[in-house]
Amino acid sequence: MTTTADDLIALVRTYNPRLNEQMLRDAFAFGDDMHEGQFRHSGEKYFTHPVAVTMILAEQQMDDATLITALLHDTIEDTKATFAQVADLFTREIAELVDGVTKLTNLQLNSSETKQAENFRKLFMATSRDLRVTLVKLADRLHNMRTIKSMRLEKQVQKARETMDIYAPLAGRMGMQWMREELEDLAFQVLNPQGRSSIIRRFITLQRETGDVVQRITADMRVELEKADITATVMGRAKKPYSIWRKMQEKDQGFSRLSDIYGFRIITATEADCYRTLGAIHQRWRAVPGRFKDYISQPKSNGYRSIHTTVSGRDGKRVEVQIRTREMHEVAETGVAAHWSYRNGERVENRFAVDPVKWIAGLTERLDESHGHDEFLEAVKLEMYQDQVFCFTPKGDVIKLPRGATPIDFAYAIHTRIGSSCVGAKVDGLRVPLWTRLKNGQSVEVVTAEGQKPQVTWIDIAVTGRAKTAIRRVLREEDRGRFIRLGRELARVAFEGIGKKATDKALATAATALAIDSTEDMLAQLGAAEITGREVVRGIYPELAEKSGDEIEATRAVVGLDADQDHRRAKCCQPVPGERILGITYRGHGVVVHAMDCAALADYEDQPERWIDLQWQDGTHRSVNTVTFDVTISNDAGVLGRICTLIGEQDANISDLTFIDRKPDYFRLLIDIDLRDQIHLHRVRTALNAESNVSSLERYRDPGLASATYG
């Protein structure tokens, strides 16, 4: 059924009786007129899309300016309407919002990493001017994903991947969890329809076997709250298919072993009732250790407040319970958008709603410190995907960190000077390695020493953008000469690959062609892996650079070794081209190449003289890099054959296969696969993960094999 202007106005009147009805009608008519003759892929009139986007925002109780922007958000881009015309008819504020949405729409966020980083900069610049631009864009993407089936398959996959990587995390970072979940699930339906269907089928089977668990547990909770004389609303639901899928991957568990697939929310009248409710729930059901978070006393940066706990409910099933007040719930549902919410014609003063200006300032503060595209993109993604934990200094001060943070992150969160001089840490009074992952509520003491400087391995140990940026800054200052030397060697090899010499004049010409200030700056970037040897060559010999695609022999796969040094891949971590690497020297044995995140490197922390900076040779490598996968598959006829076929279809070769566990319902085995590089590895892993009979897939790494490399 087609939505009319009257339908939209009726919805807005439910929360804002004082709306500017005439302007809303005028915008509706103007948009309809401008899009006349335009149609969507489904065959519907195009204007049905802006109307649907506006209805989504009206359901979030947004202000008039945002709703009119949604109605007109494609007019400046796709019709004869101009900025001046929109400003004249509907105010300059609305014209600027529409123009902001147009600029966001024109960002090609699915392009290369370098381009993507620059587009993220533009995205956050637009967001920093007015967050409503991003709210309209998110609603626009949500409706496009709801109607994505009318697009050709290739475009569906592109949009779904973009949604999963960018728009869903952005919605979550803004506190709009309902939108994040729906975007993720819609994208999941496109990217892995078999996986989603499998989870839905298992849900149906589970409900057939156990009945309506949600209804029974909800009723039990209401009884307990009545006993405690607490007035509250209880809501329960099964979690979204993608949320369950992600938990299965994170916990390496099959559906049958996954417990907390149900979630419940209890909405109370007061903050005190939240804690009384927590007591009532814990008295009735056993709390699961390590699954309690108090976001009321320590709210998230987007204003989210709630108590989270997981308990063992009926029949031993684990259920997650969220407890919060009505005001907290409004912010939890709409996030930063709660700042613009209206009720009865007045903007709602929700004391928990975050000021968008301060929120954006906090989000972009550290992003501006990033050096270069890759660092910026890394910092953005860290900010977007983070889930916080709270730790304490010895004095009792609270430090907020993203999940997975280490003592190094903790030290830099206190002060850059403390981070850079860190030599160790104590967690709850016990000395721990610097790569230890911190947990909620732990007390952390940083041990410092004069003269200590950040180590190159810290970049991969650290999680926060602040720590990574500070570490890189120090390393960059100290290691510029080393990067220049390594860059010169990389340039020499790249030029020799096309039959040319890397003369000073050639390098200077390449730097100019790449718009880099000096030859040394270019070599430093090359040595730091910020640009590739092929890019340098392409700067002055574009035709030859494209022809230099011969496969690289294993003997010359690594750059950074002396002429008399040979190398071997470490058996413990099995690095492949494309991954960050470094070398450990062995007297009389050459160099062992390790992945930067290899756990075995901890054994050499006190021997920095044995460490060598290495890079993979730029270009196409041969499929001689064996990687071992730990795979669990269902014990059904033909499954192993399909797995082998899948690997072969990805142009990969199985060099060995070992069964390590056999059970009536599953097999666990190690598969050695010969691969070219990191991209090839990703293709094989993705193909295997998509197979419904593969219940788990991990890259097998054994630090104990480090000493066996030269055995």
So which residues are the catalytic ones?
Answer: 77-78
Cα torsion 146, 149, 151, 157 to 10°: value is 80
| CA-to-CA separations, 269 to 180, 232, 304, 339, in angstroms, rounded | 27, 7, 17, 21
| Dihedral angle sign, alpha carbons of residues 544, 550, 556, 560 | positive
Residue 263 DSSP SS3: strand
- Stated as kind and residue range, the H or E segment containing 686 is helix 678-689
- How would DSSP label each residue in 451-467? T----TTHHHH--SHHH
91 by DSSP, 3-state: which? coil
SS3 409: helix
Rounded CA gap, 615 and 609, in Å? 18
CA distances to 121, 460, 509, 594, 701 from 105, in Å: 14, 34, 37, 42, 42
Q: Is 672 helix (H, G, I), strand (E, B) or coil?
A: strand
Burial class, 76, CB count within 10 angstroms (exposed 0-12 / middle 13-18 / buried 19+): buried
Find, among 322, 337, 339, 336, the residue nearest to 267 by Cα.
322
Asked if 195 and 246 touch (Cβ cutoff 8 Å), the reply is: no
Q: Are 255 and 248 in contact (CB under 8 A)?
A: yes
The H or E element spanning position 118 is: helix 113-129
- Of 477, 456, 471, the closest CA to residue 411 belongs to 471
Q: Greatest CA span in the chain, whole angstroms?
A: 85
**Closest alpha carbon to 464 in 369, 394, 372:** 369
Q: What secondary structure does DSSP assign to 513-528, as a single string? A: HTT-S-HHHHHHHHHT
Q: Taking a C-beta distance cutoff of 8 angstroms, is the pair 561, 567 a contact?
A: yes
The radius of gyration of the chain from alpha carbons, rounded to an integer in Å, stands at: 28
Alpha helices in 585-664 (DSSP H): 639-649
603-606 long-range contacts, Cβ below 8 Å, gap at least 24?
603/706, 605/455, 605/457
* Residues shown for the chain: 711
